[in-house]
A and B are shown apart, each in its own frame.
Chain A
Amino acid sequence: MPVPVLLGQLTLGLVNGSFYALLSLGLAVIFGLMGVVNFAHGAFYTLGAFAALLGLQYLGINYWVALLLAPLAVGLLGVLVERLLLRHLYGLDPLYGLLLTFGLALIVEGSLHQVFGASGQSYPVPESLAGALNLHFMFLPLYRAWVILASLVICFSTWFVIERTRLGATLRAATENAPLLQAFGVNVPLLVAATYGGGVALAALAGVLASPVVLVNSHMGTELVIVVFAVVVIGGMGSILGSIVSGLVLGLVEGFTKVIYPEASNIVVFVIMALVLILRPAGLFGRE
């Protein structure tokens, strides 16, 4: 394979990997800190994209503002979901949380389908990111470069907050021993709600980032979330760094597959997942 083609595919793999990393990060935060398998993650991603689209169409909110507002709005919705619904399932089998969030996803996607139809709508690429970069081996649309940059910055700052700051330490303490932390006067329920809201906001942010690239429609998150779950399993359920690194790496692997044997490009992630589960059940970065 000629080097320029290889470099081109690598770059594209990195773009897709950025989306995987951003989405799996949110899932890993929610699972790692709350023990909830959030099947509604794809629906929140879709909601983020719709929030940006409707904001532009009806309120004239531009891309950059939407990048801030849409995750905020969807995050608040996440807090509501946690306070009203998820909260009642703590201490039960994790299966209940999975079923609840799966049901939520079906309701959200079904409602969006009912109102906006199946065929989707276009979100324009913001003017300031319209051109392309000449990388000599390929033309990389500026917007895709921005996606890589934005998601790397967000992923690593999230990792830093959770693993390296006092706030992160408190969050982790809430999962290790909630009653003790509460005895110190920390409002644990608020912390848990904020965690879910934060994880969901990451999904919405990925949705806004994706909206100029793909058609915005009700089923845009359905297929993606399955791949992202595989990414999280490969990285090690709940491992923040694992989800980021495996998201990026799997994007690259998928990119290569698209050139070598395109028909297999939608299953290669699952093949790797099966291998990881056999050889290292806790995932690449997980603790046994």
Chain B
Amino acid sequence: MRSSRWIIAFCAASLVAATPHAARAAGDQVVIGDIDDMSGVYADVEGAGGVEAINMAIADFGGTVLGKKIAVLTADHQNKPDIGASKFREWADQQGLNLLLGGSNTGVNIAMSKVAAAKKVPFITIGAGGASLTNEDCTAYSVHYVYDTTALANGTATAMINAGGKSWFYLTADYAFGTQLQSAASKVVEQHGGKNVGAVRVPLGAADFSSFLLQAQASGAQVLGLANAGTDFSNSLKAANEFGVTRTMKPAALLVFITDIHSLGLKTAQGLYLTDGWYWDLNDETRAFAKRFYAKMNRQPTMDHAGAYSAILTYLKAVKAAGSTDPDKVMAQLKKDKINDMFAKGGYIRADGAMIHEMYVMQVKTPQESKYPWDYYKLIRKMSGEEAFGPVTGLCPLAPK
């Protein structure tokens, strides 16, 4: 008897806690949402740091736009597309959401872009990489802000081929992102007269990569293309070193965040070529942002953190210029403006939603070259936005070829 009363009381309490404060929504404030992986494998790449970057941007903008207060909602999609999409829908219906920032995970972002189109809410993808977001999955309200699989492949694959790596074997994460990355890299390799020798599809989150690496080594290819990310990337590179695969093959990382290099250490990661959308130690402006971020999060920002900051500023500027939060007016304004801040110089949002900006081909420093904490990359080449993201493909109806 006593325990059932407790259960009822508990349920009642949680109901009260879960009821959204819908009354204050819409009208008197501008609502920005952020749905990201807050607790899983990608949480360090953006996660809580992304929320911090959003708040920094809002504070720098003055905390209000068009005389309205700016509110932030955050949620953890747990890498599940259905959770991301339903949270987005709920905020759009009940909280008067004006803008959604989509964090990591291409699958979740594709699901959320459908909601953006249905609810007419501007939707800016930050952490996810799949280029399909501005191609077959594009919508009139989508923007892909930081990087995509095309840009990563153009940067890293071209750099490897220029350094003499003509034949490639891929270690591919067996899901949408991995296969998109592999096919983008294969195309670049072929265009430059290189050869794709083979690939092995590795289940996501595999415990051991050594077996796949020996298969790669047996192929005789010169380059080991790592079409995976996060822990999978780190564990495969670690094993490649241990088994001496890196002595006969050059590893090419198709998606690396600086947090991965920090985890691995320079001794393991040195010499690696990679493509980044932003680096904290590029110039005084980036260093200033990094310093403020470091003070709050105790680590250097990734390109996603800087991108989230820039995306919020860009959106707020567009709202101010358009004099309205009306989604169509804001989208038109966004596609008109040039983006000039510490993240991008002369960046612009193309008709298909891709934010075209410079990308950087980097090489990881050796332990001797690294002079201070987080001094990890040397700049090999700056790619113009047009070169990195390539021409429009025609797959998105908004941007015919």
Q: Which chain A residues have a beta carbon within 8 Å of chain B's beta carbons?
A: 5, 8-9, 12-13, 15-16, 19, 110, 113, 117-122, 125, 132, 138-139, 141, 143-144, 213-215, 217, 219, 223-224, 227, 255, 258-259, 262-263, 265-266
Contact = CB atoms under 8 A, between A and B. Distances in A.
Interface string B113-125: 0000000000000
Contacts of A143: 242
A187 B208 CA distance: 43
B139 interface: no
Given A120-B263, A132-B244, 15 more contacts: A5-B218, A8-B214, A12-B210, A119-B262, A119-B263, A120-B234, A138-B214, A139-B243, A139-B244, A219-B231, A224-B207, A259-B211, A262-B215, A263-B201, A266-B203
Residue among A118, A121, A223 with the highest chain B CB neighbour number at 10 A: A118
A118 B214 contact: no
Interface in B32-90: 39-45, 47
A226 B140 CA distance: 43
Nearest to A19: B207
27 contacts: A5-B218, A12-B214, A13-B211, A113-B39, A117-B43, A118-B39, A118-B40, A118-B41, A118-B47, A119-B259, A120-B263, A122-B263, A122-B264, A132-B244, A138-B214, A141-B243, A143-B242, A144-B242, A214-B207, A214-B208, A215-B263, A255-B211, A258-B211, A258-B215, A262-B203, A266-B203, A266-B206
A16 B208 contact: yes
Interface in B238-287: 238-239, 242-244, 259-260, 262-265, 268
Given A118-B40, A118-B43, A139-B244, A215 B231 contact: yes
Contacts, number: 99
A227 B205 CA distance: 13
Contacts of B137: none
A141 B242 CA distance: 6
Contacts of B327: none
B202 interface: yes
Contact of B238 (A13, A16, A215, A223): A215
Contacts of A227: 207
Given A5-B218, A214-B207, A262 B44 contact: no
Nearest 7 Cβ contacts at the A-B interface = A266-B203, A258-B211, A118-B43, A119-B44, A118-B44, A119-B263, A119-B259
Contact of A122 (B43, B208, B230, B238): B238
Contacts of B218: 5
A15 B234 contact: no
Contacts of A119: 44-45, 230-231, 234, 259-260, 262-263
| Size category, B interface | 35 or more
Contacts of A265: 203, 206, 211
A262 B210 contact: no
B337 interface: no
B42 to A, nearest CB: 7
Contacts of A122: 238, 263-265, 268
B211 A9 contact: yes
Contacts of B238: 122, 213-215
A9 B211 CA distance: 6
A217 B210 CA distance: 19
Contact of B263 (A12, A13, A16, A121): A121
Contacts of A12: 208, 210-211, 214
Contacts of A263: 174, 201, 203
Residue among B210, B212, B214, B262 with the highest chain A CB neighbour number at 10 A: B210
Residue among A19, A120, A259 with the highest chain B CB neighbour number at 10 A: A120
B49 to A, nearest CB: 10
Contacts of B41: 118, 219
B22 interface: no
A179 B206 CA distance: 46
A280 to B, nearest CB: 27
A122 B208 CA distance: 15
A119 B233 CA distance: 11
A265 B202 CA distance: 8
B263 A223 contact: no
Contacts of B265: 122
B260 to A, nearest CB: 7
A254 B265 CA distance: 30
Contacts of B264: 122, 215
B196 interface: no
A223 B207 contact: yes
Contacts of B230: 119
